[in-house]
Homo-oligomer: A and B are copies of this chain.
Amino acid sequence: MDIFEQWESNVRGYCRTFPTIFKSASNARQVDEEGRSYIDFFGGAGVLNFGHNNPHMKRALIDFIEADGPAHSLDMSTSVKRDFMKAFADTVLKPRNMKYKMQFTGPTGTNAVEAALKLARRVTGRTNVIAFSHGFHGMTLGSLACTANDYFRNAAGVPLEHVTRFPFGCDIDDLEARYADSSSGYAHPAAVLVEPIQAEGGVNLASAEWLKGLQEFCRKHGALLILDDIQAGCGRTGSYFSFDDMGLDPDIVCLAKGIGGFGTPLAMNLIKPEHDEHWQPGEHTGTFRGQGFSFVAGREALKYFENDDFLKDVKRKGKEMEARLNALAKSHKALGMEVRGRGMLYGLDVKNGDVAKAAVAHAFKNGLLIGACGTGGRVLKLIPPLTTPDEDLDEGLGILEAALTAVGREAA
Contacts and interface: CB of A to CB of B under 8 A. Distances in A.
A288 B62 CA distance: 21
A131 to B, nearest CB: 7
Interface stretch (A69-77, A232-240, A342-350, A390-398): A69-77
A47 interface: yes
Interface string A194-220: 000000011000000000000000000
Q: Which of A9, A117, A376 has the most CB of B within 10 A?
A: A9
A104 B147 CA distance: 21
Q: How many copies, total?
A: 4
Interface in A272-287: 276-277, 279-287
A412 interface: no
A242 interface: no
A73 to B, nearest CB: 6
Given A78-B21, A79-B22, A108-B286, A11 B280 contact: yes
Contacts of A388: none
A384 interface: no
Interface stretch (A161-169, A317-325, A326-334): A161-169
Given A11-B283, A159-B127, A164-B165, A182 B149 contact: yes
A128 B89 contact: no
Interface stretch (A118-126, A298-306, A308-316, A354-362): A118-126
A85 interface: yes
Contacts of A148: 183-185
A1 interface: yes
A275 to B, nearest CB: 10
Nearest to A373: B183
B75 A13 contact: yes
Nearest to A188: B150
A167 B158 contact: no
Interface string A128-151: 100111110011111101011111
A411 interface: no
A408 interface: no
A101 B8 contact: yes
Contact of A7 (B45, B68, B89, B118): B89
Contacts of A108: 106-108, 111, 286-288
Given A128-B159, A133-B183, 15 more contacts: A4-B85, A9-B104, A11-B103, A11-B115, A12-B282, A15-B77, A53-B65, A108-B287, A139-B284, A141-B141, A148-B183, A151-B282, A153-B185, A157-B190, A165-B184
Interface of A: 1, 3-4, 6-16, 18-26, 30, 33, 44-48, 52-53, 58, 61-62, 65-79, 82, 85-86, 88-89, 101-104, 106-111, 114-115, 117-118, 120-122, 127-128, 131-135, 138-143, 145, 147-165, 167, 178, 181-187, 190, 201-202, 256-257, 262-265, 269, 271, 276-277, 279-288, 291-293, 374-376
Q: Shortest 4 CB-CB distances between A and B: which pairs?
A: A121-B157, A72-B263, A148-B185, A13-B282
